[in-house]
Structure 1
């Protein structure tokens, strides 16, 4: 999984920072679904109190990641009607980020790079976000348990930066610090277009019909750095599956089957 997501197999727990209502503040969060329970458990670390507004924002992010909504439920049911085998295997929801901005940046990181490089770039961005908060990263040298080590790992690399945090940086700093290459300019231009109101991400999430989705695709595809794969991947994260994200890696895997 791309940073800052950490999967803990021993407890079947997803761990990562999530943002509070204040977009500059994050809190380490653990998400799990215990066997024989219908409810999802959401645990916030290192806090004794969280406001109702912060609770709402956290749960909205969890719901987005796990695709828990009436719309997602409808899509899954339609998919299971077409693919009964997927229903039998409890398969049908594609994991995504807590924000569409993170999905968009990660779609860019996937382009023209092997998986290992993509993982490294995502982690570097999270480390940068941690450093922007004035923290110094520490290497975990004496883990007492896998779960504890994972929590330390997440806390030491920070959250995935949002558009406000990236918008204050210059291209060279981002390029060198995170080894992004040409992607640094694309990501900064995206962050700037969001912050100045040119790109309204809230409208992306509200798009429901195919015509609206295709307009989003066309708008993104006109931006430098957003090719067919990145655009289709972003639309898939929004919930539009009519365009399948394919690139050279996709064809390579297909040939191996």
Structure 2
């Protein structure tokens, strides 16, 4: 069982532990969060079908990736692993203007830069992020975890080192399952047909979700593209924008409503425009301001 040790060097400020705990995705299959060792692991299927075990942790100022595989990894496979983990941890994103604005605002915001807060954990592919976002709609977190685990356990590629452990299923794996069978086995409710159709479109080459990462696409155009996908409404689109590195639109849900009403309006629920206007002065960073204000309030 060959084991490769790969390293990434983040641009400071970077806080590995805070990045892992910044978003609930870290506990959704096929991710496993190891809080006691400040690390996470997952099974990852690479282009060509190789399936590897990844364990990601901090090593001083670096990020250490331990990749275990059935066969020795090629240089190209190692580069794919490094690129995907860097994407998950947002190592290539620039938060300098966010930190500048936070410092300008003073306490408690200035602590964001000192602690290296701002990066939010995400999936290695837009496909996985899109699926998991749809799984969060109109359901409690426990239901989201159950559905993600079902998709992985039923249609994810098994590891040759331990067939009980599986990767996140590819669009091709989902598209190959007849719709009726998928609905019956997945237990996703109304989400099933939407995700099955999305998988079929991706598998047929009709749609490429990775292009949504292109920063040159105007934010409003990207938002409209997201809404054009069946199953993605305003809430899901706003959360996907955040996962794509666009923070200028807020996702209004019960969590946002309850936090903002308690924090700013003495428990009163105001009209939507007033609830959303709370973070207007953060401009392109308003989602991050909301999210990390909530994180700091919970500490």
TM-score range, shorter chain: 0.7 to 0.9
Q: Which has the larger radius of gyration?
A: 2
Is 1:28 the counterpart of 2:53? The answer is yes
- Out of 209, 213, 222, the position equivalent to 1:216 is 222
- Out of 13, 38, 42, the position equivalent to 2:65 is 42
Is 1:19 the counterpart of 2:42? The answer is no
1:66 is matched with 89
Deviation at 1:204, TM superposition (A): 1.2
In terms of mean alpha carbon deviation, does 186-195 or 44-53 score higher? 44-53
1:80 is matched with 99
- Out of 192, 206, 212, the position equivalent to 1:198 is 206
Q: Distance in 1 between matches of 2:152 and 2:259?
A: 29
- 1:33 is paired with a residue whose SS is strand
Contact 1:129/1:165, CA 8 A, preserved across alignment: yes
Give matches, 1:151-190, under 5 Å.
Answer: 156-190=164-198
Contact 1:16/1:30, CA 8 A, preserved across alignment: yes
Q: Distance in 1 between matches of 2:231 and 2:126?
A: 17
Larger RCO (alpha carbons 8 Å, 6+ apart): 1
**1:214-254 CA-partner distances (Å, limit 9, x unpaired):** 21211221333210011111111111111112223432344
Deviation at 1:80, TM superposition (A): 1.0
TM-score of the two chains, using structure 1 as the length reference: 0.82
In structure 2, the CA distance between the partners of 1:225 and 1:48, relative to structure 1 (3 Å rule), is closer
TM-score of the two chains, using structure 2 as the length reference: 0.71
| RMSD of Structure 2 on Structure 1 (CA) | 2.2
Where in structure 2 are there 5+ consecutive unaligned residues? Answer: 1-26, 103-109, 264-299
In structure 2, the CA distance between the partners of 1:118 and 1:54, relative to structure 1 (3 Å rule), is same
Query: How many residues get paired?
Result: 230
Q: Distance in 2 between matches of 1:43 and 1:32?
A: 9
Deviation at 1:128, TM superposition (A): 1.0
- 1:226 is paired with a residue whose SS is coil
